[in-house]
Amino acid sequence: MKRTPLMAANWKMNGTQAESKKILEALLPQIQENKNVEVVICPPFTALALVAEILTGTGVKLGGQNMYFEAKGAFTGEISAGMLKELNCEYVILGHSERRTHFKETDELVNKKVLAALKNKIKPIICVGESLAQREKNETDNLVTAQVKAALNFVAEDDLLNVVFAYEPIWAIGTGKTCEADEANRVIKLIRQTVAGLYKKDLAEKMRILYGGSVKTDTIDEQMAQSDIDGGLVGGASLLANDFARIVNFKKL
C-alpha cells in the first residue's frame, strides 16, 4: 500500500515571528522541490498568521498545535477550530503527551477535539504513546489501543482518512532516546490493526501513522524504511532548518 509520507514540524512553544521567519527562509528552498513528501509546519499560535503568509504558494501546509472543541464563547485562553481554519490550517496536533501530562487532557477531551476538528475540515494528528513506567510494566499495547479507540469515538468512516495518528512514546520525546525502528513499527502496526477492527480494513491500510520521539537526521532513513511508518512528528530537530530539510528529504534504504 502506497501512502504519501508526511513530515510534521512541531515547534512547540518556540518561535517568535522573527525566529519563525528565519527558520522558514532557510528551510523552504531545501524542500520545495520535493513533491513526494507532504510537509506541515505547526508553529505557536502567535506565529500562525505570519507563517501562513510565508507558506502561501509553497505547497507546504500549516497546522495548529492544539485547539478547544467549542466553537466560541467564554473559554479564556483557548482557540477554536474555526479560528485555525481561518488562518488556513489544514492540520492540528491533538492529544500531544505534553498536553495530556501538563494540562491534564483526557482521552474524552481529545476525542471531542478530534470531532470538532473534523467538523471544521481540519485534519487531526492524534498523538498516542506510553510513558517509561507503562512500557516497563508491559502496558504499551493496551494503553495505545485504548487511546486509539477513544480518540476515534463517533468518527465517521468518511472522515477516517482525514485522521493521522502519531505514535510518540513519551520516554523518547525530547530525550534523544529514539524508539528502535522495528519496535516503533510494531506498535504502529498495532494501531493500524486496531483501526482495521473498527472500520473497513482497506481504510486502515490507507491511513497514515507517524512516529515521533527524537526523530533525527540519523534515524529518519531507517524509520522510513519500515513497512508501517508513514512519516514523522518532529520536535527539536524541526527547529533546525537543515536538519528538518534532511528529514523531509529522507533517503530510501
168 in catalytic set: yes
The distance of closest approach from Cβ of residue 163 to ligand PGA in the complex, given in angstroms and rounded to an integer, is: 17
* Nearer residue to ligand PGA within complex by CB, 174 or 197: 174
Burial class (CB in 10 A: 0-12, 13-18, 19+), 116: buried
Q: Which is catalytic among the residues 96, 98, 130, 222?
A: 96
Q: Which is catalytic among the residues 38, 98, 130, 168?
A: 168
In the complex, which residue's CB is closest to ligand PGA? 235
Q: How many CA atoms, within 13 angstroms, populate the side-chain half-sphere of residue 84?
A: 34
The distance of closest approach from Cβ of residue 234 to ligand PGA in the complex, given in angstroms and rounded to an integer, is: 5
**Cα dist from 225 to 73, 84, 117, 244, whole Å:** 46, 33, 31, 18
* Nearer residue to ligand PGA within complex by CB, 120 or 214: 214
| Binding residues vs ligand PGA (CB under 6 A) | 10, 168, 173-174, 212-215, 233-237
The distance of closest approach from Cβ of residue 173 to ligand PGA in the complex, given in angstroms and rounded to an integer, is: 4
The distance of closest approach from Cβ of residue 101 to ligand PGA in the complex, given in angstroms and rounded to an integer, is: 11
Residue 211 · residue 167 · CB < 8 Å? yes
Residues 6+ apart with CB under 8 A from 233: 8, 10, 93, 125, 127, 166, 168, 210, 211, 212, 215
Q: Cite the active site residues.
A: 96, 168
